[in-house]
Amino acid sequence: MTAQQKGFIYTALSAVCFATGGLLIKLNTWSSMSINGMRSFFAFFIFLLYMKLTKHQFKFNWKVLLGVVANSMMGITFIMANKMTTAANAIVLQFTLPIYIMLLAWIFQKKKPDKVSVISGMISLVGIMFFFFESLSLGGMTGNILALVSGFFYAIVFLIKQIPDSDFESSAIISFVLNFVIGIPFILQETDWGIMNLSTGVLQGVVQIGLAYIFLNMALDKVPPVGASLISMIEPILNPVLVAIFYGEKIGKISFVGAIIVLASALFYNLRGTGVEENDERA
């Protein structure tokens, strides 16, 4: 098996782990902050073990701190979105992150978006309008907005890995600690400590966050980002399917059309271009 083939397998495993999030969040009756705190507690130990086994050195600087904030906000807003709108809306709207990556790279890294990126972004925006049109009658507008915010912070996490002297692993491990500390007051207020809440909290920490991050790190060492992101489209497809089967939540007809449009834009983005092109700079 080639390194690239292994990379595709790791990416698929990561996407499957991430995809369990929608169902596990729906099945847990705790508040968003409590869930985020509990799952971060278990994710910390899984990821710490990974860093120990790979002998990855801990690093701390302002770039790592930026990653901490982005990681924490991404997780909190995504859980809140899942609580306020459908799992399908939350995951698909989060997958508009290529638009944010394109804009942030243009603003801060001076990388001009190419035509493929612009077209993909416009298609995604059309799809997003379908989600919000249905939300006006069915509710969930706040959840949709939070899902878009989560995509923004995920884009920052993606870009921070490209910056010299940053460290994704250190940012992740610190964010797990921060999330748990922030979640303690909320966890102490919870009254339902039944097996469902406890088991789904543990599974989120171990599988949906811990193992997913580990597999993704392993994948990006062996496969280019374009290939990895294409395989990762398993997540926005599998996530709502699991929720529909085991939780009974269905995506609205209008939102379904929007989901197809957004996923089509992501597919177009990955198949037709690299996303950005360097500006020509003349002395």
Which pLDDT tens digit goes with each residue over 128-177?
777 767 655 455 788 889 999 998 998 887 777 778 899 989 999 999 99
Sign of the Cα torsion 21, 24, 25, 26 reads positive
- Examine residue 73 and state whether it is found in any structural domain, yes or no: yes
CA distances to 25, 41, 234 from 170, in Å: 25, 15, 27
Segments in the chain below pLDDT 50 = 137, 226, 274-283
- Examine residue 145 and state whether it is found in any structural domain, yes or no: yes
Q: Residue 177 and residue 146: Cα distance in Å, rounded? A: 23
What percent of the chain clears pLDDT 70, i.e. is strictly above it?
87
- Examine residue 283 and state whether it is found in any structural domain, yes or no: no
pLDDT at 150: 92
Please, are residues 249 and 86 in contact by the beta-carbon 8 Å criterion?
A: yes
Question: How many independent structural domains does the chain possess?
Answer: 1
3-state secondary structure the chain: CCHHHHHHHHHHHHHHHHHCHHHHHHHCCCCHHHHHHHHHHHHHHHHHHHHHHCCCCCCCCHHHHHHHHHHHHHHHHHHHHHHHCCHHHHHHHHCCHHHHHHHHHHHHCCEEECHHHHHHHHHHHHHHHHHHHHHHHHCCHHHHHHHHHHHHHHHHHHHHCCCCCCCHHHHHHHHHHHHHHHHHHHHHCCCCCCHHHHHHHHHHHHHHHHHHHHHHHHHHCCCCHHHHHHHCCHHHHHHHHHHHHHCCCCCCHHHHHHHHHHHHHHHHHHHHCCCEEECCCCC
- Examine residue 119 and state whether it is found in any structural domain, yes or no: yes
* Domain, as residue range, for 197: 3-278
pLDDT at 278: 42
- Examine residue 92 and state whether it is found in any structural domain, yes or no: yes
pLDDT at 263: 75
